[in-house]
Structure 1
């Protein structure tokens, strides 16, 4: 699969006009439907290109610095997830909203930091909400909670909170103490348990407040349960990774600015 490149002479994110959008879908009716749904949003989004397969999508992404990609999962010559991985390697890359008929790739999509995962037939209100979120995220509208004083994140006893997680037509109540860590995925988060993981609609900031003081914000994208930390591994560059006690021995990155507060939280200083 060809490597995309980002032109260096154009600002990647337009702040003085509508966002540049690429539609990627192998079915012409689906592309037409998305254009129809975007009708009336010209002040926010302008469609500059369409692609019918992964190679076309990457070629167009290499020619123009798009702000937004509406991306199908199943494509000829590759997967929409493959395209999203290439997009994530760009810095910055365009925001991605998946538009698909398949529900079984949602967790993978959010791990690639997709803004949303919309099921066909696409609901226009949901699409507009996702677009607004994508553009707000790209413009840095969300505050970085790492700027809060460390004492506001100091852990204490394990919380007894329970997190309701929707699973089809049933609701699973997850005990906070069972959560090994949580990871942010563009407005959504997923909870990692010892043997399961669940996608939830809360932001990481919402989860931090709900889960309680035993959880530590190790990174802007990671919230860890200190009760499940097995090891803290560092290197000569000062980088630190937490090894968790789940069966996979999951590894969670710690931002440099949080290494000191983490050591204090674990009673190491």
Structure 2
């Protein structure tokens, strides 16, 4: 039996387009549609779905509010809750979406190929949740530790970020650290946090210089390193010089090169 899907969107053309794309890629059975958050919750509490394609900006409950009510709640008659894939025209809610354990975040318009990858990721996540409820998706393989080539000191590096329908260029020096987020990356800035569509590997190639991959999931701006603190296991933790005094774990594999780069 194919995985059962619910489409939630207040715009009929958007629901029709998504249904068409799902029929094109195959392997998913659309068994329900809802035009707002309240309808979606009624359907979700009456039938077990495997996937929910959820718009964000809708009258009444937003998609984020629907996902928040689903997050951590038991499904009908003990059945696990569905994997949520956000489908929206607005890229600026992605960080909030992933905080709610969304399987993916698709920005309209998207291709059938992109949708297929998203469905495969969500279904793989559902398999993992079935064997280990609440477990995070496995992180990508840890790259070999190596010192990246240093760029010219005066070279300007900016990272494009989509925010409120605009493309904002973030100066590389304003990035405290970047963390992997399911095919995306979350940038911790001195006074904000944003999501970008680059992988951590791509950010590492773009930034280089005084950025260093301290862990398979973290890329740190070494200019913000305030302290190196050994933890109870003998590993290193970086304390960063931002307002929150963020702490980032250093993998044992990368610790020697990090010490060399910092001169300690």
Q: Whole-Å Cα distance in 2 between the matches of residues 215 and 27 of structure 1?
A: 43
> Is 1:208 the equivalent of 2:197?
no
Superposition CA RMSD, Å: 4.2
Residue 206 of structure 1: CA displacement? 0.9
Q: Which residue of 2 aligns with 1:12?
A: none
Is 1:110–1:188's contact at 8 Å kept on the other side of the alignment?
no
Q: Whole-Å Cα distance in 1 between the matches of residues 216 and 44 of structure 2?
A: 29
Unaligned runs of 5+ in 2: 74-79, 126-137
Is 1:113–1:185's contact at 8 Å kept on the other side of the alignment?
no
Q: TM-score, normalised by structure 1?
A: 0.64
SS at match of 1:145: coil
Change beyond 3 A, Cα 1:155–1:100: closer
Q: Whole-Å Cα distance in 2 between the matches of residues 87 and 240 of structure 1?
A: 37
Change beyond 3 A, Cα 1:198–1:82: same
Residue 98 of structure 1: CA displacement? 1.7
> Is 1:162 the equivalent of 2:157?
yes
Change beyond 3 A, Cα 1:80–1:234: farther
> Is 1:243 the equivalent of 2:239?
yes
Q: Deviations over 1:88-135 (max 9, x none)?
A: 659x9865332235555244235546422424xxx3xx1424323324
Q: Which residue of 2 aligns with 1:55?
A: 41
Is 1:95–1:134's contact at 8 Å kept on the other side of the alignment?
no
Q: Which residue of 2 aligns with 1:130?
A: 114
Work out the number of aligned pairs and report it: 235
Q: TM-score, normalised by structure 2?
A: 0.65
Residue 86 of structure 1: CA displacement? 6.4
Is 1:155–1:265's contact at 8 Å kept on the other side of the alignment?
no
> Is 1:176 the equivalent of 2:165?
no
> Is 1:116 the equivalent of 2:98?
no
Is 2:179–2:200's contact at 8 Å kept on the other side of the alignment?
yes
Q: Which residue of 2 aligns with 1:262?
A: 255
1:229 to 221, 225, 229: 225
Q: Which residue of 2 aligns with 1:105?
A: 93
Is 1:182–1:192's contact at 8 Å kept on the other side of the alignment?
yes
SS at match of 1:144: coil
Unaligned runs of 5+ in 1: 1-16
Change beyond 3 A, Cα 1:164–1:224: closer
